[in-house]
Amino acid sequence: MNETVRDSRVQGEILIDTESIFRMDLSAVRRRIGMVFQKSRPFQMSIFANVAFGLRIDGHRSRAALRDAVELALRRAALWYEVKDKLYQSAHELSGGQIQRLSIARCLAVNPEVLLLDEPCSDLDPIATGKIEDLIFTLRESCTVVLVTHNMQQARRVADYTGFFLPGRLIEFDTTTMIFKNPVNKETQDYIHVPLRAG
């Protein structure tokens, strides 16, 4: 998204396999990396059209293939059974948790290698949060899931690895078990062991 921010600059590298995303064609990056924002907003179109959006941009035109891909993406996002009878209704009629899963389905439709989730549960109730967390467990079998969260309990529940950041700096990175049970860095220790820290 850097190209949309005037005077932005990039430091360091982000690699997919061994290839820098800053040297890739922009459309290739967007095809390989899916992004779900903290406050997802569906497009002003039907549920079906939301999920099919990326496929259509990629040139998929066959109605049968689109139908199959949309169904598969909605199934993978654990949303199919809730919306299968209203695919052509406005996506804006969905609940907050359903909208988050719709946004995930829209990403999954193009089979990304990496799925970035930015605080996907911040505005959701515990039931919707549980569905998203269950979904993360399922998705990590088919793509790399990178989750940004301030909720330490959630990180502990769903992450294989955890990176602890303080403004602009990576403080520590290790397995989630090591970060929470035996962090090396004092800043990490202080943050994790604050009594009764809220998520």
The answer to whether residue 5 sits within a structural domain is no
Specify if 194 maps to a domain: yes
Tell which of 133, 148, 163 closes a domain. 148
Residue 93, pLDDT score: 94
Structural domain for 175, as ranges: 149-199
pTM of the full predicted structure? Answer: 0.84
Q: Check residue 5 and give its pLDDT.
A: 82
Query: What's the confidence (pLDDT) of residue 176?
Result: 96
Shared domain for 195 and 129, answered yes or no, is no
Return the pLDDT at 91. Answer: 96
d(CA 180, CA 70): 38
pLDDT of residue 108: 92
Last residue of a domain, one of 107, 130, 148: 148
Residues 127 and 61 in one domain: yes
Q: In angstroms, rounded to a whole number, what is the distance separating the alpha carbons of residues 55 and 15?
A: 24
DSSP letter string, 117-158: EESTTTT--HHHHHHHHHHHHHHTTTSEEEEE-S-HHHHHHH
Q: Is residue 4 part of a domain?
A: no
Counted domains in the chain: 2
Residue 199 belongs to some domain of the structure: yes
**Mean pLDDT, the chain cut into blocks of 10 residues (199 residues total):** 77 87 86 88 94 88 91 93 96 92 93 92 85 89 91 92 90 95 92 63
160 and 132 within one domain: no
